[in-house]
Structure 1
Amino acid sequence: MRDDVHQAATAGGTPANWPPAEIQKAHERSETFGLRVSIRPDYDVLSSAALELKREQNHMLCMQAMPVMETLHEQIANTHSMIVLTDAQGLILHSIGDDDFLPRAAKVALFAGANWAEDQQGTNAIGTALAELRPMVVHGDQHYLAANHFMTCSSVPILDPHGDVAGVLDVTGDHRSYHQHTMALARMSVQMIENHLFTATFREALRVSFHGRPEFLGTLMEGIVAFTADGRFLSANRSAQFQLGMPLAALRAHTLPSLFDVTCAQLIERMRTSADQHLMLNLGNSAVVCARVQFRRATHMPNSRPPEVHDAANPSARTTGAQASGVAAGLSRLKYLDTGDPQVASVITKVRKVIDKDIPILITGETGTGKELLAQAIHNDSSRRDGPFTAVNCASIPESLIESELFGYEEGAFTGARRKGAIGKLLQADGGTLFLDEIGDMPHPLQARLLRVLQERVVNPLGSTKAIPVNLSIICATHRDLRDMIAQNRFREDLYYRLNGLTVRLPPLRDRTDLAIVVQKMLQYESHGNAYENAHESAHQPPLSIEPEVMALFESCAWPGNFRQLCNLLRTAAAMVDEDGVIRREHLPDDFFDNVSCRNPPAQCDTPLTSLTSPTSLTSGTPPNADVLAATNTRLQDVATAAIASALTHHGGNVSAAARALGVSRTTIYRRMPSVEPTDD
């Protein structure tokens, strides 16, 4: 142990055996890495593209961990802390936390894209937990680097279903507000993530969930063991290993009969004929446990490839909840969508009342209002959250392919069909939620087949004579008027009434009252999720903010593209922002101003640029004179050119001043007035 640390600790009244032995070992390792206590490391932070690749490589971990992180954050909110998820090498994949702590953490590169392995950051809970393969708490000046002494970190390794390290869940906060229960919460959260990973990995297997007491089934205490269709052991979660009294290595020599004294055929028959919700099984040690058995798709689709294998062969077919935009990662629960708008709050109240009641939900609203985001949140708040979320955009799939995409097909069903066939979206969603976006664009003949699936809960793949049972929840969305389509015989009335158990409408962005809050949340994501391209910028870059004048422009914008448009605009502005992190008019794309001062829908706004291109209003500051512009026969481009020339004259050729007055970028002035030789600030 370092003498200076030991002396400082004992001088402050800390017991002489401080720090613990594992911390002393970690300090020794840190020294061998060539680190020094007082230095600030040269943070090696991944670019946004490289980080997205790492997230994709850890797709399953991220998808299962993010909802758990959000729940944990609720429990520790307002405690000057944050929650971090890393991969198996200590690279931070995601983080969420309190607004007052995130900027402090950013100064030491505790954000997505930074690596916190011991050879990078010295002794710290993440890196040391990976090195020791055990949960670790590193408190205050137990950190090797002095720059990290302001925080206390509690980290727990996450094991994948095969017993290998998949990553780390870490809770970090101000060392002065550390609570002894933090580690317990982190451990429980990791156990939850591991169980979700286990279920997702062995969705096609025969799974036996068990416990000696029936009230513990369905809780973190239940053991889960996965077997093949013929009873060979696949894996067991931590609770199962504890109850069976054997580690994974020993359990791999066992089978279903040797562990539970029953063959696979006997178990399935007992499950089929039993009137009870649970079965009683015998363990090898003569103990009797209460059990639930799940054996879904493997029983009725023995010849089909698992969905994940099919998707890997066809990347365009990947339809999981993790496909939502980056913003969606932080808004994947209904409560996070409730940002203050009364219309949205009413929608959330309604859908909460019908979740898990087998009532189909139809979401209406303009394109870009967040219909898929709402559908994903409904799924994540339902009892099907551990099942797949399969999204299908009916408008983006060619009419000739949509039937095979939805229903799947057998080998040789048609020319060009894959060998062994393909599983369709309906069966991919088995046990979870099927989201049919733009349902109004589904071909009329296919609507009858979908109606049969919804009524009979069976699927007939193309070229197959077998009817395959399917268990799924349906959420649909459309921007069309389905009643009008029914009147035109373009949409089946019987299907409409089967889909609209509850119909809700998401308001367009221009009609929402929570725009400022939405913008703030999006900027937080840009600041902490995608920003910080290199270490030196990350240590000093301030959080993103918006100039009041720009926020006023946002409030007056029609937002024809709704959230999709706003997200893209903020991402562009964040990339162009200056060192102070403040988004100003010159950071906005030129076409944004086409929609300013137009609060009506785009189809009703014929000349949105006139109020921005009036030379009178731009140079004198007086309101735009629409009558003068309407009285002229000058084309709008000429008016814009005249406005720019007038503004340049008024500001003595200063391009920056003219651009600010016009509300456009300097690029626009250079493009429209190429012959001018302006001055600049």
Structure 2
Amino acid sequence: MSDLSCNRPAQRFALAASDPGVIEKSHQRSSAYGLARQDKPDIGPLGAAALSLLLEQNHALYTHALPVMETLYEQIINTHNMVLLTDASGVIVHALGDDDFLVKAERVALNPGVAWSEQSKGTNAIGTALAERAPTTVHADAHYLQANHFLTCSAAPIFDHQGKILGVLDVSGDRDSYHKHTMALVRMSAQMIENQLFTAAFENAVTLHFHSRPEFVGTLMEGIACFTPGGRFLSANRSALFQLGLPLTALQSHTFSSLFGLPVSTLFDHYRTAAPGLLDLCLHSGVRVSAKAELRLSNSVFQHFSEVRPAADAAAPAPSKSPPRLSSLRYLNTGDPQMAALIGKLDKVRGRDIPVLITGETGTGKELLAQAIHNDSPRRHGAFVAVNCASIPETLIESELFGYEEGAFTGARKKGGQGKILQANGGTLFLDEIGDMPLALQARLLRVLQERMVTPLGSTKSIPVNLALICATNRNLRELIAASLFREDLYYRLNGLVVKLPALRERSDLEAIVNKLLLEEPGGEPCCTVAPDIMALFHRHGWPGNFRQLSNLLRTAVVMAGADRVIRLEHLPDDFLEDVQALPPAALNAAGSGSLEDLAQTAVRQAFEASGGNVSATAKALGVSRNTVYRKLNLR
């Protein structure tokens, strides 16, 4: 069975040189191949013609990997390391490295055209990653051949959408330059290449990007699943398999509707709206996810930040009558006086071309507010383009924002790339975590805002832009200015209207918020209700994670409640209960008769008795750990 069929893909990341069993098995294989530790490695590369053919055969892999390799190399430059890309048999396709290490590397032929399989070089990160089908670190003496003992290497295989290995991404360097974070960088980079290859593999398809946490949509953590225009499942990346909880073979019999509880026609309707936001979908397991889609149909690409207004089709399904969730300022006004005042201020500057700066703690809903501002503005028929300045690598953020011309840098796409600023032309640009933007780019952004012109990298031509700007941060920009980490002139350009979103614990409309989050769909019936004693606990909790914490807690509780459809104490996660137990006794008076501990013990004991005294079954039924059951029942 292919590795992609595993519904616990994180297990593939467990292998490393610290696992002696992995290294010992590899040494045994190396010996069986007839290699001796004192052997001089075969360093004969392919000829020029064969190397050219190798590049041609691996064109897609090389094209998508090259810019990622460039970025990875920028992060490890001047550390006596090099970045390598191999094909599926371990032959090096491309290499980038520090000059001071290249001399050493040439001694063992870490060069394009040289094979680094276990059969050729014995135990090494590239060959062993291929053999184990898993990310692998091989450090110093763990290499089978003595000639390679001066190396430390971290490698991760790159899989296609069918679970077939396409190649390996590797960082190799001097053993004295070993750093424990190198493997994490390699794994993330390999995942980035995989996701790009996955998306490019399906031309005439519906590609869904999703995650249970909306801020992870568009990042390496997102799940990606592809479907035919009719909704038949095609494939999914590793994150999607993990979230869906099904192997690839089982998913082949599914459709978009069976997995996400929504006809694919409704998805098309959503993208016929002028400025579609993130979709709120429910997995077959009951877990809610946020999603965006690319509809690559008839050579047209529509994305969540693209304006999509196809001509009306009499045969097309009727548009959905339900408006997108949290789609306007009115919808966000749920009875809290602070929010009402904030929305009143925003109403007054609507359509006045005044930049808005949203502040507040993490998880208070800054992007939701920005989307609502856009949807209520005269620019609502234009694009809403969100950029998280903290999540894009510093080496990529400039090209992401401003775009680039063909040949602007090594690995640049043919015909160049359109930056986020130009994508937002005619609409709204939302710069989240603006306080984390590098200083050098702050100067360029200020110039764009002043001149209303953007110049892509590698171009001498400036392009006029007309957009609304919304920024957000959970940092104190004035403190950053005092520390010379943020430009004062840019700050005064951004803060036309500053609004601060209150923390969830400071709001008076918690019950209304909970009820909205529990709606199956806007205007529908709640999928669950909250027991009065639990709502009392909610009112007394500090909610350090704000809406993000509340939303995730409710999603889990809904699944645990199941057919009961009432969220009770036994449906709440351990960490929440532990936090609430730490509250002063006076704060728990309204939590029902008796103390919270008594309630918890009663719930656990009832489940324990119902399971016939089975601790494992009790823990599973309540969604808690076995240790919690032991602790609540004083079992030894």
TM-score, reference length from structure 2 = 0.48
Structure 1-normalised TM-score? 0.45
The structure whose Rg is larger is: 1
